[in-house]
Each structure stands twice: as C-alpha cells, then as structure tokens.
Amino acid sequence: MSSNGDTVLVNGVETSSISVTDRGLAYGDGLFETLRVRDGQIPLWNYHKNRLQSGCQRLGIKLQLDLLEAELEQLLSPAAHAVTPNQLIKVIITRGSGKRGYSPEGVDNPTRILFCSDYAIPHPDCYHAGAAVRICATRLGTNPLLAGIKHLNRLEQVIARSEWSNEYAEGLMRDLRGHVVDGTMSSFFVVKGGQLLAADLSHSGVAGVMRNFILEHAERLGFIPQIRSLELEELFDAEEMFICNSVFGIWPVRLLVDDTGDLRTQTQWSSGFPVAKKFQSLVASTLFPQ
C-alpha cells in the first residue's frame, strides 16, 4: 500500500504502471466501473458486474470474473479498510496489450486495473440541500453501437466537464437532437405530472447502475418509471429533478441553469424534494446508510 493510502493492483500485482502497449491507452479499448465501498462491502456489485459483463460481451473482451472478484476481495480485506469505512475502487478492464493496428485478433489477455482509495464525497451539502446543475454546451454524439456501456472512450465527458469549475455539482448533456440524455458523471430523473421519467439511452449515454437500481425499485415507492426522449423544456417545467450515481447516491436538483444560449434560463426548486427524499431513504436503508 502506498504512502497516501491508495492501492493499485494490475492483474493482481501491486504496481503503479501499465505497459505502453496496452490497448486501453492506444484506443480506449476497455471498460470501467467505479465502486463505492462501505464497511468492506460493495452494495451495488451485482449491478456493476452485470454492466461490466455486458460491456465486455459487446466489445468481445474475455472478462476473467473469478480473478477480478478475488482481487476485489483482497482489497476489501478487513486490514485494507480498517482506516476508513468509505472507500472507492475504480476497476478498469482493457483488452490487454497488443501489436500495432486496430485488429483485436489474438489479443486475449485482458488487463485488470483496480485502484482503491479513501473517499470523501465532494459537495456533501448536495445530499440534503440539493445540487446546482447546469446544461452543457457540449453535445453527446449519436452512437447506438456504444450507447449504454461504460467504455473508456470518454472525451465527450472530458470536454463537457471542462465547461465549468466548481460552481455546479454536475452538468447535463444533450444529444445532437437536443434531447437531454445524461450527466457527465451521473444519471438524472425528472418528476412530472406525478410520473417518474428517465432518459432514453439507446443512442448515447451510460446506463448508470444507480439509475438501474432506481428503475427496478421505483414501483415499491409507487412509481412506474417511463423511459423516453426528454426535451430541455420538460426539465425546466418539472415538479422535481434528481441526479444519481453509485458513488454519491441521490442528490435532489435545487437549481438547473442553461446559459448556453443567448438568454439564461433557470429553474429553482424549493419544495423539499419529496420524491428524491423517498429514493434517498430507499438507498440509505438498502445500500448506503448516510
């Protein structure tokens, strides 16, 4: 374990480097997951595992799940998490090292990279008071082939995230048609006419594991979620909005701002976020005690 408390395993070996010939570097040829660890457990592991397996299948990468799970166990050992109950493990799976050229033929030794670090939630006030969220000028491209999976081709998110500094907790991205699809690092839900709405992800975006958890559990809270294309205007007119991911959980949106056009449009919510609070309680009782 390094001096700052971080541990990195590459194919089970503690190291801080990977080969320059890794296709994760050359082409973004791989996938990742960011796991929140609580008291030595990964409450959403099954969701992460499903997405990772489905992504590997779509990219034709042979995930060695038994080795990955053994390495996670190693990082989750009591000694490893004794210092702090809150940790993050970022898992990167690449297709492995290869010779020159795009062809993945004969490249069948994937690289597993696990970063374990202590974790303090940024913007801790957002959980109760709500988050300030902006609309990004950067658009998501249209790519049904890669939509949904959490691959390493993330330049769109990098460029979108460079639009602001710390004045907002998150930015939402539209696709080329103007539909709002995804946050740069989170998913979002809209409450409208008492309905729970989530964005359609068939053309772009990442199928967030917390989004999946919420979709699967919504009925317990009296919602039949609708997944469809969402116009920007529908967000500004919403009764309530919240963003979510597997790391921070659920944050109500208190302010949504679009200053990408000639006029600044914004909506503030101060209703007490009743729907977001219900889902926060669900997450707190089943996954992450706050």
Residues that bind its own copies (CB under 8 A): 8, 10, 15-29, 32, 59-60, 88, 90, 92, 94-95, 100-105, 113, 115, 117, 138-139, 141-146, 151-162, 165, 176, 184-185
Q: Which helix (H) or strand (E) holds 254?
A: strand 249-258
Q: Alpha-carbon torsion 23, 27, 31, 34, what sign?
A: positive
CB of 27 to its own copies, least distance (A): 4
Measure CA of the first residue to CA of the last residue in the chain; give whole Å.
28
Measured CA angle at 180 (ends 175, 185), to 5 deg: 90
Alpha-carbon distance of 4 to 73, in angstroms, equals 21
Amino acid letter, residue 289: P
| Nearer to its own copies among residue 29 and residue 240 (C-beta) | 29
| Nearer to its own copies among residue 89 and residue 197 (C-beta) | 89
The total of other beta-carbon atoms located within 10 Å of residue 176's CB is 11
Q: Alpha-carbon torsion 217, 218, 222, 228, what sign?
A: negative
Burial of 128-154, coded b for 16+ CB within 10 Å and e otherwise, reads eebbbbbbbebbbeeeeeebbbbbbeb
| Nearer to its own copies among residue 19 and residue 271 (C-beta) | 19
CB of 48 to its own copies, least distance (A): 16
Structure tokens at 236: 């500004």
| Nearer to its own copies among residue 165 and residue 285 (C-beta) | 165
The total of other beta-carbon atoms located within 10 Å of residue 106's CB is 8
Taking CA atoms, 262 is separated from 46, 177, 236, 259, in Å, by 45, 19, 17, 7
| Nearer to its own copies among residue 99 and residue 285 (C-beta) | 99
CB of 15 to its own copies, least distance (A): 8
CB of 282 to its own copies, least distance (A): 26
| Nearer to its own copies among residue 111 and residue 280 (C-beta) | 111
Q: Give the β-pairing of 249-258 and 131-135.
A: parallel
CB of 215 to its own copies, least distance (A): 24
| Nearer to its own copies among residue 48 and residue 218 (C-beta) | 48
CB of 240 to its own copies, least distance (A): 26
CB of 24 to its own copies, least distance (A): 5
